Amino acid sequence: MPATQWMDTGDTAWVMTCAILVFIMCPGLGFFYAGLARAKNALSLMYLCVLAVAVVSFQWYLIGYSLTFSETGGPFIGDTAHFLLRGVGLEPHASAQTIPAACFMIFQMMFACITPALAFGSAAERMSLGPAIVFLFVWSTLVYDVITYWVWSGNGWLATLGVMDFAGGTPVHISSGLAAVAYAMVVGKRRDYDENVSTPHNVSFVFLGLSLMWFGWFGFNAGSALAANARGVQSLIGTHLSGCVAALVWVLMDYRHSRKWSMIGLCTGAVAGLATITPGSGFVSSSSALAFGAIGSFVCNLAVQYKHKYHFDDALDVFAVHYIGGLVGLILTGIFAQQDIIALSYNEGDTVPLGGWLDGNFIQLPIQLAAIVTVSVWSFVVTYIILVVINKIPFLQLRLNDEAEMMGVDWAEMGERAYAYLPLTESGDFISPNATSTSADVAKGVVVKRVPEIIEDPADGKDMGGIKLQDMDLSNSSNFFSLDGRARPPSSPTLSTRTDASRHAYSGSSNDMASSSTTYNSSKQQQKAKAID
């Protein structure tokens, strides 16, 4: 008889697929964060999301999985029974009896990868990249693994207490949200936070990131059923409905203030709703999921407003969206969880636990609150200590100096950019196509003067319109920094010209974006109108 006769191939295929879906959330988060940031810092946020996958996957293989899901640990932390994935093969795991332990391991690994990546958003645009490697390894070991063991291991004290968290409200959203607060506090505000309100540099990236994350969230939540069963289907439905109604609530709240239909608001609201439904997705009905999305989006939107009111520099609203979303979701799970939904993954005749208040189980909400408080305290305190210690290690300072921050994390730390040509203002945003001057704080040391003119298309001779760029190379000026960030002695600026054949440009805000285009150097180009001053 085959050794794997017990294995359900359908369940195994489903959980493997969900592991891939959760992985897709990591690059999705990279796009989402990059689009929300300024152009000069976009690449670093993508880098951090990929870095999290690399470092945490190694940590999970080495010791993380064993600390989190060993079956012989105590109430607070696992042991080294599965060190280097020893004994993790085709046999079933206690938490998933129809799939191989190796399949369960890789699925949970993806959760571990994305969680610390979420926290980086709070320190965006001023954090050094080098210490992130150390932080990822240590934080995963001391914070994520510990909290996840409490909640999801059969021996964990919160699991024994009866906490309801289907897909990661506590281990993922609450832990990363408080870690984000600690990170923002330790590195401090951005240099220009109080003087400059930065705007997302690429809303298309935000949309793309949200699309990938929403797609992956189906595997994140529905896959937590660890089987291709009716409870997973219910989780899938609830996840989608919560994200939809949350997106609508957020965009309507934004419209009330700005009278604009915000794509950023639509995407952020969807993420808030998806975070809120995460702990309850396998416990609540579809109608309850609508309440999760609406309430979660409303409260998270208010949290963003209060963040600005009190000048707390959580750059990408990690606390407001993920911590508050996870907190609201856990509370609502204690109220709306139903035994009928839980029973969808039980066999006939099994004892099914009660849900929350809807089932008359009034003790469930205090249990949920106990989980929120203990996980919040542990995540914040331990993260803060980790960051303070790392910051005292030579060459591992967490914050960039002012010159590097002014230049942008991408070039200062990576020597690379998200865009080949990046004329920047002080705020790091693209220069308006109508701008004739810039501030003296240009990351590349070049002031760009854009002069509209009519240009003849070299292919067919038709007027195509365009913008002529006059580059004032001030990289040798004492007021500028070269690409390596070092100040240069003063000298006379030189002028050069090039043609930017951009026909369409977005304008209308204080931080306008000029569309990039092909540079035409053909000698056949002829001006048909004088440049307009």
96-115 per-position pLDDT tens digit: 899 999 999 999 999 999 99
pLDDT range class, residue 2, cuts 50, 70, 90: low
Res. 116: pLDDT tops 90: yes
CA distance 407 to 443: 4
Query: Of 495, 499, 498, whose CA–CA distance to 474 is shortest?
Result: 495
pLDDT at residue 445, as a whole number: 40
Indicate if the pLDDT at residue 213 is higher than 60: yes
List the domain boundaries for the chain: 20-392, 421-533
Residue 520 has pLDDT above 50, yes or no: no
pLDDT, average across residues 388-408:
96
Q: Give CA angle at 302 (298, 307), nearest 5°.
A: 150
3-state helix, strand, coil in the chain (%, to 5): 55, 10, 35
- Express each pLDDT in 423-480 by its tens digit: 444 444 444 433 443 434 444 444 444 444 444 545 555 544 444 444 444 334 333 3
How many Å apart are CA 114 and CA 274, to the nearest integer?
A: 15
Sole residue written with tokens 């639509």: 266
Residue bearing tokens 């189906």: 218
Q: How far apart are CA 299 and CA 292, in angstroms?
A: 11
Query: What pLDDT sits at residue 40?
Result: 94
> Using one digit for the tens of pLDDT, what is the confidence trace for 117-176?
999 999 999 999 999 999 999 999 999 999 999 999 999 999 999 999 999 999 999 999
Q: Is the pLDDT of residue 483 over 50?
A: no
pLDDT for 193 equals: 86
pLDDT over 90 at 4, yes or no: no
Instruction: Look up residue 200 and give its DSSP letter.
Output: -
Residue closest to 319 by CA, chosen among 377, 369, 272, 255:
272
> What's the mean pLDDT in 214-227?
98
Say if CB 448 and CB 469 are below 8 A apart: yes
Task: Please tell me which residue, 450 or 45, carries the higher pLDDT value.
Answer: 45
pLDDT value at position 422? 58
Give the percent of the chain with pLDDT over 90: 73
Model pLDDT, residue 512: 37
Q: By the 8 A CB rule, do 168 and 68 touch?
A: no
Chain mean pLDDT for the chain = 84
* Model pLDDT, residue 3: 60
Q: What is the pLDDT of residue 440?
A: 41
Reduced to 3 states (helix: H, G, I; strand: E, B; else coil), residue 525 is: coil
The residue among 524, 503, 523 whose CA lies nearest residue 515 is 503
* CATH of the domain spanning 20-392: 1.10.3430.10
pLDDT at 276 (0 to 100): 99
**What integer pLDDT is reported at residue 461 of this predicted model?**
53
Question: Which amino acid, 79?
Answer: D
Q: CA angle 492-497-502, nearest 5°?
A: 140
β-bridge mates for residue 470, sequence order: 449, 497
Helices 230-258, 263-277: inter-axial angle, 10-degree rounding? 140
User: 521 or 202: whose pLDDT is higher?
Assistant: 202
Q: Which 3 state secondary structure label does DSSP give 448?
A: strand
| pLDDT score, position 196 | 64
Predicted local confidence at residue 522, as pLDDT: 40
C-alpha to C-alpha distance for 204 and 128, rounded to whole angstroms: 26
Answer whether 518's CB lies under 8 Å from 501's CB. Answer: yes
Cβ partners under 8 Å of residue 481, min gap 6: 403, 406, 407, 443, 445, 475, 487, 488
69-83, 265-279, 365-379, 414-428: which range is least confident on average?
414-428
DSSP state of 196: -
